Amino acid sequence: MKFDKYSPIERLKPYIKYLAVSENELEGEYKIFPSSGLVIGFQYKGQLSIVKDDSVHKLDSSGITGISDSYKIFSNSADIGTILVFFTEIGFIHFSSNPTNELFNLSLSLDDIFDKTSVTEVEEKLSIANTDKHRVKIVEQFLISQLKDIQTDKLIVEAIKLIYQSNGNVRIKELNDQLCISQRPFEKRFKKVVGVTPKKFASIIRFNSVLENLSETKTLIEICYENNFFDQAHFIKDFKQFTGETPEHFKRLS
C-alpha cells in the first residue's frame, strides 16, 4: 500500500493541508475516523464504495467527504489509485459557494459541488497521466481554477487556534468571552466556514487528542480525566460513536 504526501503549491497553502497519492493493490475494507477538515478524492483507477447498514454503495470516481462526527467504512477494489486533497479547517469555503455545513456527515459526487465539465476534464487528464507528480499538478490546477477571492474570517481562525490549544477541552462560552462575540452569531459564522458548530468541532479535536494519547503508556482512566470527560461512561460512549469500538478494545487492536 502506498500513501505519499505532497505539500501544495504556495497559492494553495492557506487552504490545503496536503495532497496525497494513495494506491492499494489489494481489495479491502477500512474505517475512516472523524477529522477536522473536508476531503476530496479523485480515483484515477479502481472503484471505491461506502458501506452503510451492511449495504455497499459504489461512489463516483470523484467525490467529497464532509466533516463527520462518526466513523465511516469504505471498501476499495483491487488496484485502486486515488489523489486526495485534505483541506484546512477554513479551506473549503474558498473554493465553493456551497455552505460547508451542508456537507456534514455526507460523501457526495464532486459533480454536486463543482461544474460537471470541469470535473470530467480533471478525470480525463488523470486517466492518461503517468506520474504521481503530474497527477498532483492536474488536481492543483483544478483547485486554482476554482479558488474564489474572498477574505478569510480571522475571528474563526483565532477560534480554531484556541480550540486546538486546549485539545478541544474548552467551553464555548469561554471562547465567546475571549473573542468578544455572542454565541449565536459566533456559531453561525463558525458553521459557515468550518462546517460544524464550535462544540462539535471541539469534540472532534478532543477525540483526535485521545487517539494520540492511546499510543502512549497512559492508562485509560488517565486519558479520560486528562481530556475532561465527566466520567468513564461518557468517555466510552463518545469513543464508540467516533470509532465503533470501546477504548480498551481499540487500544488492543492498534
CATH code for the domain in which residue 214 is found: 1.10.10.60
Q: Give residue 54's pLDDT.
A: 82
CATH number for the domain harbouring residue 30:
2.60.120.10
Identify whether residues 46 and 62 lie together within a single domain. Answer: yes
Write down which residue in 124, 146, 168 finishes a domain: 146
End-to-end CA distance of the chain: 18
- Residue where a domain terminates, one of 99, 122, 146: 146
Cell digits of residue 197 = 458548530
Instruction: Look at residue 98 in the predicted model and tell me its pLDDT.
Output: 87
DSSP 109-169: EGGGTS-HHHHHHHHHHHHH--SHHHHHHHHHHHHHHH-------HHHHHHHHHHHHTTT-
Cell of 50: 461506502
Length of the chain: 254
Among 84, 119, 146, the domain-final residue is: 146
Residue 52's CB: how many other CB atoms inside 10 A?
11
Q: Which three cell numbers stand for residue 229?
A: 470527560
Instruction: Tell me what the pLDDT averaged over the chain comes to.
Output: 94
**91-148: pLDDT as tens digits:** 999 999 888 999 999 999 999 999 999 999 999 999 999 999 999 999 999 999 999 9
pLDDT digits over 146-205, tens only? 999 999 999 999 999 999 999 999 999 999 999 999 999 999 999 999 999 999 999 999
Q: What pLDDT does 212 receive?
A: 87
Residues 49 and 67 in one domain: yes
Give the predicted TM-score (pTM) of the model.
Answer: 0.94
Structure confidence at residue 213 (pLDDT) = 84
Dmax (CA) of the chain: 54
**Mind listing the pLDDT tens digit for each residue in 35-49?**
999 999 999 999 999
Give me the mean pLDDT over the 229-237 stretch.
88
**What pLDDT, on the 0 to 100 scale, is given for residue 251?**
82
pLDDT for 53 beyond 90: no
Report the pLDDT value the prediction gives residue 99, as an integer from 0 to 100: 87
pLDDT band at 214; cut points 50, 70, 90: confident
Instruction: Assess whether 179 and 87 both reside in one domain.
Output: no
